Every structure is written in structure tokens, then in C-alpha cells.
Chain A
Amino acid sequence: MAKLLEMPKLSPTMTEGQLTVWHKKEGDAVGVDDLLAEVETDKATMEFRSFDKGTLLKVLVPTGSLVLLGQPVAILGTPGEDISKLVPAGQGATGQGATAPTAPALKPPSGTGQASATQPQAVPAQAAPAAPREPREPAPAAPREPREPAPAAPREPRDGRVYASPYVRKIAREREIDLGVVSGSGPRGRIVARDLETVPASAPSSAIHALAPRADSDEVRPLSMMRKTIARRLTESKQTVPHFYLAIDVDAAPISRIREQINDDLAAGAPRNGAAEASPPKVSVNDLLIKACAIALGRVPECNASFTPEAILIHRRVDISVAVAIPDGLVTPVVRQADKKSIVTIAHEVRDLAARAKAKKLRPEEMTDGTFGISNLGMFGIDSFAAVINPPEGAILAVGKIREEPVVWEGTVVPGQRLALTLSCDHRVVDGAVGARFLAELRGLIERPTQMLVY
């Protein structure tokens, strides 16, 4: 018995996904747990595996399609089966075993007058006044036929087009909302008025969004799922989270020295049993900063907190998200329980997360539920900057590069190393004095870094 394969929910917040590659083609045998396709969701590229075995009779959405959750993507069955009833309207049954003419299994939503007018309607005898003619038997209620539920309508790939009601487009024009970052709850993902209820008033980037591309001078790059997510989440953060910033400049010489010593010692102490062992572990300044932040957050838990409308949540776990730049955007994998992990363990985890982030192989749950963020642009030569908070985190530390510069030491100018740190705080959770206390703890740990080795 042939069955429709539908787009599964591959992440908790997924509403649609871009089918980036099919790993099976029509006619291929499919086993349980075989990789069918890869799907780019709002979070990551996910594997779409088969729950059944059989033969892939028909592919319903081509590579690159944007597919809504639950939308049929393929038909699985046995070769020679009649699948014509499963092929949605508008798609020819060209797959294997298609013998009968296409018969749409799914009806389009009834929206036209004629369609809705010809829908059977429930008929409780209306309270019409008696006619002056012969009294007639009151018309009893006729059986009510089940109506095809609207969501069963075939959902077509959106091809990057934004579907929105005219009224929504009017509101969007007036309130300068970029509809590209709003997800629609209507048929085929249509954005309807209720979907705008949670969208903040006016996007400051509206002037850019309002620009119409000019064929001669603009290259049009369609928004990837990740770009849409970045746009939506950061806009939401900057518009709804009251940011304020605390900046300090710390002596980075001790942390540079201890990093060198750790790496030398790790190299010297690494087992030398031939090629089987890869290069010895190394730690970076950033790994040390993750550890330092984790310890400081333990000492100032008010900075390890999230705002909710009902209460402030002070987290007992210290899960630090690390912004990782990848070719077409950035992601924020999370080092869990960083306060309980050794520096080498943290280093190893960050390396693994970053590598998989670049390969888009992170699972969504590896990128959610951080309690504090770190963003380091030192490797790009940035002296100092302020980062945007990644909700629901309550704060994020922006780390610049270690600067070689003259410093005054015991009355004389000597060569020194400085590091600029900027803490962006959600003022609903973290007040200035609390943020300052956290930075004081952090400075103490960075400037006397052997503490990190013993906590």
C-alpha cells in the first residue's frame, strides 16, 4: 500500500524547511532509517530519514523547495502500484507504476463563491415565519456532511515568495514591517492579520527593506532560512530587549602567558605512541574566557538569568553559547555546564561544535537554551565592540583582540597586553551594579588566571 511521506518536524520550532538535497531518487529502494533527504530548517540542516521501507515511487517536491510542515514530499510503496490517488492535484503521476489518470486526492480550499455555495451546509430548520399557504411539515435537519478541513489543502512550495493578505500588506506598509521575517498561519503559509499581532511596530531597517532591487546595480541574494532566522531573532532582540553596555579593559598578559604554558605542557605531556594519537590538545584564549565567565557567573548568578513576563529565572546551570561565524551567517552552539568542565574539555567541545557548525551538522538542541553568551571578534582584528543579546540569555560578553601596547607599570611605561571586554546586559534582568560586579569577578579571574585551574 503506497503512502505519502510528509515533511516531519525536525526541530521544535520548525514550521517549514528547505529541502536541500534528495538522497534517494524515484525507483530507489528505501530501508527503515535510510537517509531520504536533507532539510534546512530554521536552525540547521537536518537529516530526513525513512520510518518505512519500500520503493520511492514519486518525488513530489524538487530539490530546493521550501516545504511546510506536514506537506507531502514523496510517495513510498511497491513498484507497479497505482499511486494516482495519492498524487496531489496539479502534479502528474509520472512516477513508477502510475497507470491511472491523475485523480486529486486533496481538494483545493473552497474560497470561491461557487465552491462554498455548493458545499453542503448544516440545516437546522430555520425559524422562518409560517407561510400563509397550507401548513407544511417543518423541514427537519438534514445530515451534515463532513467538510474537508482547510489545512488539508495541498501546500505548494513558496519559492521564496511571501504570501500575505492585502490587509496584511497594507499594515506592513504603514508599520514598515518586513513580511519576509513573519511566518504565516493561513493556507499555504499566507500571512494574515493575526500573524502580525506579535510583530513589533516599526523595523528601523525599513528603508532598506523598502528598496526595490535594481537589475542593473543590485545582486539579489534570496534569504536563506538561516538569514531569515538571524533577521527575525536579532530584530526581536534589539527591539524588545533593553540593552545597556559595560566596558572594561583588562591586563591580558597573564592569560596569554598561562595559555602558552598550558599548551606547552599539554604538548610535552601528550602520550607519544605513534600516529594513532592526533595532535595534542590546545586551548585558546577564548576557551579560557569561557571558563572564566562560567566561574564568574557562579559567583554572580544574577547575570546568569532570563527575563520572563511572570518572573526572572536565575539559572542553576551555566550553559554558555558561543557565536560561531560560518560562511553565510552565524550560529550559537552552547557549551553546557561550562562551570563543571575542565578547560581542555571546553576546548575540545568548542572545536567540535565549531566544526559541525561550519558543516551545518549541528542539531537544533545544541544551539538553544544558553544562559549567557560570548562573542569573540578578536581573530578578525576587532579592538572592541558590543554584541546583541541572544534571547533568552540575559547578557553577552563581546571580546576584542589582545592588543600589544605600552602600559604604565610601577611608574614606568613598559610593553603590555590589553583586552577589551564589553558586556551587553538585558536591563530587565541585569542592573548596572550587578553587571559591574560580574565584570570585576571576571577581571580578577583573567588577571590572576591560575584560579581557573583550581576552581
Chain B
Amino acid sequence: MSTIRYREALRQAMIEEMEKDDRVFLMGEEVGYYQGAYKVSEGMLERFGPQRVIDAPIAEGGFAGIGVGAAMVGLRPIIEFMTWNFSAVAFDQILSNASKIRQMSGAQFTVPIVFRAPNGSAAQVGAQHSHAMEHFYAHMPGLKIIAPAMPADAKGLLKTAIRDDNPVLCFESETLYSVKGEVSDDPDHTVPMGVANVVREGKSATVIAWSRIVHVALEAAKTLEKEGIDVEVVDLRSLRPLDIDTVLASVAKTHRAVIAGEGWPYGGVGAEVSDRIQRLAFDELDAPIERVQTMDVPMPYNAKLEQLVIPQAAGIAEAVKRSLYLQ
């Protein structure tokens, strides 16, 4: 084990898998000579050369499509978008090609591709660059969606994603890249998709979160602990496949569920988790399921307003208290 940053964990995963399997390559804007827009791919061009670390033009539809085609003919591309916001330009490649080819070809083709990028709010990047895009993609059958919050999961899940024979989308975060954590040095260590993680045990209420908001939920749990409220935090880690059993087991213990995540409240992952809890654990609920999400507006540029719009620890704490009928 060594303590490294989230971005280093992602880099280790790519390097280890590229060394293990020469079909794996990385392509995206600024991944090579610039060392990565967020320095995730730092040193990789020097290590693997321009044939396997490919700087793409600013044309997401083009290089996403190249990636899908390469995957269909036997390579295992990792496509990095500068952020998931820009994947909107490549949306048709993911929706109509990556997620469909295997089914439409009767499995004559598989699409072993990984798309990865930072997601969600950063800090004053404006309405067009602050989207939580996982909700759009989690909607689609044929895709797998991972959203790790911890460096160890970032490495373990990305390795699993690269080894998977189906398209996997990895949702990272600008503000997570510098988070440090203990990460396994074992190149054979992976984290399976579809397994949530109870990152904090408690018995008063369950907070279900993913990606950056797991850390916000843990912060809320810490403040609530001072008031004698003992919160359990479930980190979903993968959004599709979704490990609902871990969520249900926690709700059966605490009898209240608060779902926290970035993204607008209408529909989305939070609504899906909420629906499954009410259907599969109806008899366990002592209070309505609470959701703490990004407010239902385009992200404001103003720093104060931006903080008001995205989920905060205080908002999660309030929702937990509502679920305990304390407010």
C-alpha cells in the first residue's frame, strides 16, 4: 500500500493495464505533450510513445468514434474527454454506437472501451461546464458506469473497466484529483463493479452518495455525530450495475434514506435509487426518502450562488434530521 492522490491512482491503473496488455491505448485532448489537462496522464507519452498515448484534435465526436471503431476491431481504447461536459458532442457515438453495437451485431462485435473524464461542478466553471453527466449515461442499457470517490476505488475500478469487454464510463472529478488515500501497489488488485461500499457505519440514518459527494456526506456525518446522530454512509462506487442490496441492507438497519449527489433532481440516479428503495424496502421506511441534489437551475457563475446550488454538508445534515423527524 502507498498513499497517493486520486489522479495518480488513475494513472497507475492505466499504466499497469497498458503494460499488461498492448492493445490498451489512451487518446484524448492534451493527454500527451501537455501531460493531461489535469495531469492524470503525466509521463505516459514518454513511457508509451505517441502510438499509444495519442493527442486528439478538439473533435470529441471524431475521436470517440475512432475509439468505438478501434474497440470493434480488437483494440482496448481509453478515451479521455477534457470533461464529461464535452462528451455531449460525442453523445451519438456513445448512445447509438458504443452502447448498441454488441446487441445489434448479435455479439459479433464487442466494444471494450473506457471513456473517462472529470464530471460535475468544479469551481466557477460556469453553467455549460458544470454538468453532472452520469445521469444521462446511466439511463442507457449497454453501458457500465463507475463513479469512484476514493483513490483506491479509482484505481481498482478503472483497472476492472479496462479489462471489461463492454463500454465503461468512468466519472471522475476535478476536485477529487488531489484527494489522497491508501492504494494497493499490487498490479493484480482490482475492485469489482456493482459493489457498493459502506464507508461509515452508523445506525440513525443512511446517506447514499457517489463520487465527490461521498466526501460531503462524510463531512455531514461528522457534524451530526456531535449531535448524537449516527449516520451510515454508503458509497455506491458504480451506478450501473447498481449494488442495491448493500443500500437495502443499510436502510433495513436505519429505516431512513437520504440520497445525495450532484445533478438536477428531476429523474436521474437519485430518483432510480429512491424508486428501488421504496419498492424493495417499503416496509423498512420510517420516513419519506430524502434527496439532496443540485438545485433545479443551470449552474450560476457567481461563487456564492454556485455553492448555494450544489449539495453541501449542511443540506445533507438537514435532510438527515428531517428523516429523523427532528426538523
Contacts and interface: CB of A to CB of B under 8 A. Distances in A.
B288 interface: yes
A148 to B, nearest CB: 10
Interface in B299-324: 303-308, 311-315, 318-319, 322
Nearest to B291: A113
A124 B274 contact: no
A118 B295 contact: yes
A327 interface: no
A360 to B, nearest CB: 34
Contacts of B179: 129
A190 to B, nearest CB: 8
Interface stretch (B11-19, B24-32, B279-287): B279-287
B312 A116 contact: no
A168 interface: yes
Given A113-B293, A186-B325, A193-B255, A121 B303 contact: no
Interface stretch (A139-147, A236-244, A341-349): A139-147
B44 to A, nearest CB: 16
Nearest to B306: A139
A193 B314 CA distance: 25
B174 A150 contact: no
Interface in A214-246: none
Nearest to A129: B178
Contact of B307 (A112, A125, A150, A166): A125
Given A142-B307, A192-B325, A166 B285 contact: yes
A139 B177 CA distance: 19
B308 A120 contact: yes
A114 interface: yes
Minimum-distance CB pairs A-B, first 8 = A121-B315, A113-B291, A122-B314, A129-B178, A117-B265, A117-B293, A170-B283, A123-B307
A169 B284 CA distance: 9
Interface string A160-182: 00000111111000000000000
A147 B327 contact: yes
Contacts, number: 142
Contacts of B266: 114
B48 interface: no
B160 to A, nearest CB: 24
B307 to A, nearest CB: 4
Given A112-B288, A166-B282, 4 more contacts: A122-B314, A123-B314, A141-B307, A166-B285
Q: Which of A125, A149, A167 counts the most chain B CB atoms within 10 A?
A: A167
16 contacts: A112-B288, A114-B265, A114-B266, A116-B291, A121-B308, A121-B315, A124-B314, A125-B307, A126-B312, A132-B174, A150-B325, A167-B285, A170-B284, A192-B286, A193-B255, A194-B325
Contact of B283 (A113, A119, A131, A166): A166
Contacts of A147: 318, 327
Contacts of B296: 114, 117-118
Contacts of B305: 142
A182 to B, nearest CB: 14
A128 interface: yes
A132 B38 contact: yes
A205 interface: no
Contacts of A136: 123-124, 303
A131 B287 contact: no
Interface range on chain B (Cβ under 8 Å from partner): 35 or more
B34 to A, nearest CB: 12
B255 A167 contact: yes
A168 B286 CA distance: 7
A121 B318 contact: yes
Contacts of A127: 219
A112 B271 CA distance: 10
Given A113-B274, A139-B304, A169 B315 contact: no
Nearest to B175: A128
B216 interface: yes
Contacts of A202: none
Contact of B174 (A110, A111, A131): A131
Interface string A90-125: 000000000000000000001111101111111111
Contact of B287 (A124, A141, A192): A192
A350 to B, nearest CB: 45
Nearest to A143: B304
Contacts of A116: 290-292, 319, 322
A268 interface: no
A169 B285 CA distance: 10
B155 interface: no
Nearest to B261: A117
Nearest to B178: A129
A165 B295 contact: no
B294 interface: yes
A150 B327 CA distance: 6
Nearest to A115: B265
Contact of A150 (B176, B282, B292, B322): B322
B270 interface: yes
A185 B286 CA distance: 12
B39 interface: yes
Nearest to B259: A113
Contact of B327 (A112, A118, A149): A149
B325 A185 contact: yes
Contacts of A257: none
A187 B327 CA distance: 10
Contact of B295 (A117, A150, A192): A117
Contacts of B288: 111-112
A176 B322 CA distance: 28
Contact of B122 (A133, A140, A185, A192): A133
Given A117-B265, A118-B265, A124-B314, A167 B283 contact: yes
A167 B314 contact: no
A199 B287 CA distance: 19
B237 interface: no
B284 A166 contact: yes
B212 interface: yes
A144 B307 CA distance: 11
B270 to A, nearest CB: 6
Interface string B137-177: 00000000000000000000000000000000000001111
Contact of B178 (A132, A137, A140): A132
B196 to A, nearest CB: 20
Interface string B203-222: 00000000010011001000
Given A132-B38, A140-B303, A126 B286 contact: no
A408 interface: no
